[in-house]
A and B are shown apart, each in its own frame.
Chain A
Amino acid sequence: MQPIPFEDIQSRIDRLAGQDLYIHLELTTGAYASHLDSTRHPASVFITNAAVRYSQGSISGSGPYRVGLKTEQGWVYAEGLTHVDETEAERLILAGHDGQGKLVVALQLSREMF
């Protein structure tokens, strides 16, 4: 994983627009959040291999970054993205890691199922 290069991500989002894709979208505090600190409220969501098609999308912010994808019937949104898998040529694998390196958010797009 590498820190997100802004321009590169925008062009990769553009290349995936207008196609039938699979998405993995996730936000998590981790299952141990309230075990380690009872004042924290544990919450997580993920959806994996949902079908999605967006007409336009962009990356925004100055890091951590936001990504918004405009679909035919709605939106996909993720905030807190910091890293990309630079070795992936076709798929877009974005993640947000906190100061301890832990994954907090993930947004992944692929023409093939994850």
Chain B
Amino acid sequence: MNDTKQTGQQRILVVLPHPDDESFVAAGTLSMYIAGGAEVTYACLTLGEMGRNMGIPPFANRVSLPGIRKEELAASCRAIGIQDLRMLGFHDKMVEFEDRQLLDSTVTALLLELQPQMVITFYPGYSVHPDHDATGAAVIRAVGRLPEAERPVVYCSAFAVNHEQAIGQADVIFDVSDFLDQKMASIRAHATQFQAAELVGNRELTAEEIRLRYGTEKFWTYRFADQA
């Protein structure tokens, strides 16, 4: 358990590649910090335009999906209370193949502009989707280039099979059960995505099921190699 949670004017930068990553990774945590007065910028690298979920029955397609997911992303951010959404315009599935300098300089520019105290991203190597890993890696490179004293704390989300064998247990665990209304509204804002059977099953979840499944958000504080 980590109790360094600060209230007051805190700036948080969230860097994730897909609309809806914010819902599952950090919607409760962000709602909690925003309720405490934090300013949140969400830099979403892609529009998730290569996603496979198109609604049930399908109402979207490859052509219409980016525009639809843009609207869903904005609605999700409203549900969480995120004040500043940046859509960075990278191509879904292609983040790992992007020009690294472009990725890194994009993240660096955000760090310098916003001077966040906290950054939330994916743990590189342990986040399953290649875009997740590549996004986390870019954030770690960019933050790692800052002088140690100026680095924000970086909270990483990880969910690869057996990730705990490699990186241990999460050291930051937030009980977000008081913010499940915001989190579920954020998830549901992604209407093309959230019906996926593996996410919600084929029926309405009970309040207890929602709390068990979504009531806790876990992060790993990234330890930089040169860190004291």
Contact = CB atoms under 8 A, between A and B. Distances in A.
Interface residues of B, number: 26
Interface string B122-153: 00000011110000000000000000000000
A44 B129 CA distance: 13
- Residue in B52, B53, B56, B61 whose Cβ sees the most chain A Cβ within 10 Å: B52
A24 B128 CA distance: 26
B93 A97 contact: no
Interface residues of A, number: 27
Contacts of A104: 52
Given A28-B52, A32-B128, A108-B63, A97 B58 contact: yes
B53 A108 contact: no
Interface in B36-67: 50-64
B61 A93 contact: yes
Contact of A31 (B57, B129, B160): B129
Contact of B198 (A36, A93, A95): A36
B52 A30 contact: yes
A95 B60 CA distance: 10
Given A100-B56, A101-B53, A102-B54, A95 B62 contact: yes
Interface of A: 1, 24, 26, 28, 30-32, 35-36, 38, 44, 46, 83, 85, 88, 91, 93, 95, 97, 100-104, 106, 108, 114
